[in-house]
Amino acid sequence: MKIGRRSFLSFLLGGAAGTALSPLPWKMIDDSSIWTQMWPWTPVPEDGEASYVNSACTLCPGGCGITVRKIDNRAVKIEGMKGNPVNNGGLCILGLSGLQLLYGPTRVQTPLKRVGKRGQGRWEKISWKDALSEVAEILGDLREKGQSHTVGLISGSDRGTVHRLFERFLTAYGSPNLICTPSIIDSYEFTLHLMQGVQALPGFDFENADFILSFGSGIVDGWGSPVRMFRANSAWRDTGAKVIQIEPRLSNTAAKSDKWIPINPGTETALALGIAHVIIKESLYDAEFINNYSEGFEDWKRFVLGEYGPDSVATITRIDSTTIITLARSFGRASKPLAICGRGQGTTPGSLNECAAVHALNALVGNINKKGGIFAVAEPDYINWPEIEMDATAAAGMQKDRLDGAGSKKYPFSRYLMNRLPKAVNSGEKYPLKTLFVAGANPLYTMPDSRTVKKAFDKVPFVVSFSSYMDETAQNADLILPNHAYLERYEDIPTPAGMPKPVIGLSKPVVEPLFNTKHTGDVIISLAKALGGTIGNAFVWDSYDACLKETLGYKWQVMVEKGFWSYPDFFVQIHEESFDTVSGKFEFICKETGFMPQFKPVKIEGDKTNYPLLLIPYDSIRLANGVIGDPPFVMKSVDDTVLKGTDVFIELNPKTAREHGLREGQLAMLSTPVGQAKVKVHLFDGIMPGLVALPRGLGHTAYDEYLAGKGINFNELIGPVEDSVSGLDAAWGIRVKLAKA
């Protein structure tokens, strides 16, 4: 039989008919549609039991309460905790993205020991036992040689039990060099100490204020406790409260305010004093408070009336004198006015004069420790541990001067001066720093003048990082002892930034630790026990969790359930009892030190001829610029007028751009006395001519591919400027020159 064309076609035909009568095509259509709708490579969330865990966020000093939704053992969503006194259900973009930090690829999964050169990224996994005995051996050696004071520790926060364990450890060991990451809170604490004689945190009653005079504070850009500030800002729209934003750049806060007053940067103190001048001159101040509860007013009044008339202030600040007068009148006449300071997110302490001048405005209108005003909030006093017994070595070590000069003759009232540390290490004048621990901080990224900081780190023979993530500092450490990530550990968070009432948040484990990590508190306790003697004796607890539980006592159970402890019986002292100064009153001129708020321009680096422009940083809620870097979700939200690909944009007034012959999107070389960087130009009418603005939070070299290598780290371009009174970093900008690249 010959198979011809016809037979073959017939065969196909039969095949087609049979196929149509079989389920094959219909089933294939169905299956392929299911396949295309549910690509097998798309992750499908596991099904399981839903549960919620109340905890507190520790990604910034805001201390928001969080409620984490879990499916079985996996955390799937972070929400703001309803009913929490700080954020009541709200949460910021960084807090919402926190799971990417927990489950992301940047976690340090086990103790690591450096094998290559520093920063080369070559590590060897070691056991906790080996890691701890190595550290204990080095610490033991230094102590034996009488060099216990050459051990330093940089901590991210100066409150809470973990910080207190560090303090206790170093005291028992014999080193005064415990240093904390600075912020505007330090300047406020200093101000409260000088003017009110108290050791307290500033608390702002934004919810009840009706006129907010902000000297560059990024109310909706991440200042204070960010979510609380968003809510307050929204509430002001309903209550009709007025917000006046004073800063040289049209930030989001300025755009949302009732009035934006651009100011010659660095002259905010002069403006505050100019406002004080008008208030005093026109008798708009709270005479009852001034007469009964203040001291030194007459002298300061004479000084302010003499020096800061609206016309001279107008020349300094480049703000119209009528604007100054109107502003002063509306501030003085408002029923609950509140003046605040701290540029952007308040991550730099700024000049003490500025903080004190702004605080003096609050005093003038008598809203100290009053509804709608500023409170001096004493730290909740729940950490009551037994006295430390110090041996001779510890006592000798503690007698040594601090490397950063805090508490010295020059800066007797400062507690920590981190900005002075790199210089002290590099000069080696006092004594060398032989071992440095870094916990909850990322100084190699966050400290100004990165190059000098790096040089100082290179001089320290042994650097230990406690970071949960492979950040810049961890990358340059000799040993990483990874802490549990923030959703895996217990930690107390006393009084979030700017809260007018004491609150203790409890951060608690939402999930079991994913990796071979250890709580830093436990590491400290183990090290103390390994060193033994009086050091070991100072740590009576078996573990950090036991220590925290014991410390919190009866509060523990409530905090575990609710996630926070608030003080229902908190009341504000009456004015007669709330000032602990020499005079027992609010002191416009500090009797103890003679300090009074006045305008002394901060001498920023660079000369006008070589560096004709001024570079200022700006903060955004979408760019985390502290110890934590932006997780991928947050990175996605950054505008392409801020970052495009790996290029960061500077903001430039079109007029200034014309003078420099620069167009939108053009590449330019930015040089400051500290460093230089290639940037792109973005023309922006919202920035004063002669200024250049660069966002903070970019230019990471560590973390993941979504963050590393994008943009420029502002800290590479600026150096610290020491405040003459506090010693804290007062730099608000730096001179800069711009050239076509």
Are 55 and 66 in contact by the 8 Å Cβ rule? The answer is: yes
User: E strands of 572-713, at which residues?
Assistant: 586-587, 613-618, 643-644, 647-652, 667-671, 676-683, 691-695
How many of the other CB atoms lie within 10 Å of CB of 476? 23
Based on CB atoms, which residue is closest to another protein, 22 or 335?
A: 22
In angstroms, rounded to a whole number, what is the distance separating the alpha carbons of residues 626 and 156?
10
Based on CB atoms, which residue is closest to another protein, 51 or 120?
A: 51
Q: How far is CA 263 from the centre of its chain?
A: 25
Based on CB atoms, which residue is closest to another protein, 5 or 608?
A: 5
In angstroms, rounded to a whole number, what is the distance separating the alpha carbons of residues 173 and 140?
9
Based on CB atoms, which residue is closest to another protein, 46 or 137?
A: 46
Based on CB atoms, which residue is closest to another protein, 33 or 322?
A: 33
Least gap, CB of 72 to another protein (angstroms): 8
Least gap, CB of 69 to another protein (angstroms): 12
Least gap, CB of 546 to another protein (angstroms): 26
Are 380 and 568 in contact by the 8 Å Cβ rule? The answer is: no
Based on CB atoms, which residue is closest to another protein, 29 or 392?
A: 29
How many of the other CB atoms lie within 10 Å of CB of 134? 17
Are 717 and 733 in contact by the 8 Å Cβ rule? The answer is: no
Least gap, CB of 73 to another protein (angstroms): 10
Based on CB atoms, which residue is closest to another protein, 513 or 690?
A: 513
Q: Which of 393, 395, 440 shows the shortest CA–CA distance to 161?
A: 440
In angstroms, rounded to a whole number, what is the distance separating the alpha carbons of residues 178 and 404?
10
Least gap, CB of 32 to another protein (angstroms): 7
Least gap, CB of 1 to another protein (angstroms): 6
Based on CB atoms, which residue is closest to another protein, 44 or 574?
A: 44
Q: Give the β-pairing of 462-465 and 676-683.
A: unpaired
Are 240 and 289 in contact by the 8 Å Cβ rule? The answer is: no
In angstroms, rounded to a whole number, what is the distance separating the alpha carbons of residues 445 and 423?
16
Least gap, CB of 562 to another protein (angstroms): 20
Q: Angle, nearest 10°, between helix axes 310-317 and 321-333? A: 110
Least gap, CB of 77 to another protein (angstroms): 16
Residue at 74: amino acid letter: R
Residues in the chain: 741
Are 587 and 195 in contact by the 8 Å Cβ rule? The answer is: yes
Q: What is the dihedral of CA 585, 588, 593, 597, to 10 degrees?
A: 160
Least gap, CB of 8 to another protein (angstroms): 7
Place of tokens 């070590």: 397
Least gap, CB of 125 to another protein (angstroms): 24
Q: Which of 645, 633, 738, 637 shows the shortest CA–CA distance to 694?
A: 738
State both tokens at 74: 């996996």
In angstroms, rounded to a whole number, what is the distance separating the alpha carbons of residues 180 and 416?
6
Residue 514 contacts by C-beta under 8 Å, 6 or more apart in sequence? Answer: 102, 103, 107, 109, 485, 488
Based on CB atoms, which residue is closest to another protein, 38 or 574?
A: 38
Based on CB atoms, which residue is closest to another protein, 47 or 685?
A: 47
In angstroms, rounded to a whole number, what is the distance separating the alpha carbons of residues 209 and 242?
9
Least gap, CB of 7 to another protein (angstroms): 4
State both tokens at 51: 């549960």
Based on CB atoms, which residue is closest to another protein, 15 or 121?
A: 15
- Expressed in angstroms, the distance from the first to the final Cα of the chain is 83
Based on CB atoms, which residue is closest to another protein, 69 or 410?
A: 69
What's the half-sphere exposure (Cβ side, CA atoms, 13 Å) at 525?
17
Based on CB atoms, which residue is closest to another protein, 14 or 461?
A: 14
Binding site for another protein (CB under 8 A): 1-4, 6-19, 21-24, 26-28, 30-32, 34-35, 37-38, 40, 44, 47, 49-50
Are 662 and 684 in contact by the 8 Å Cβ rule? The answer is: no
In angstroms, rounded to a whole number, what is the distance separating the alpha carbons of residues 176 and 149?
6
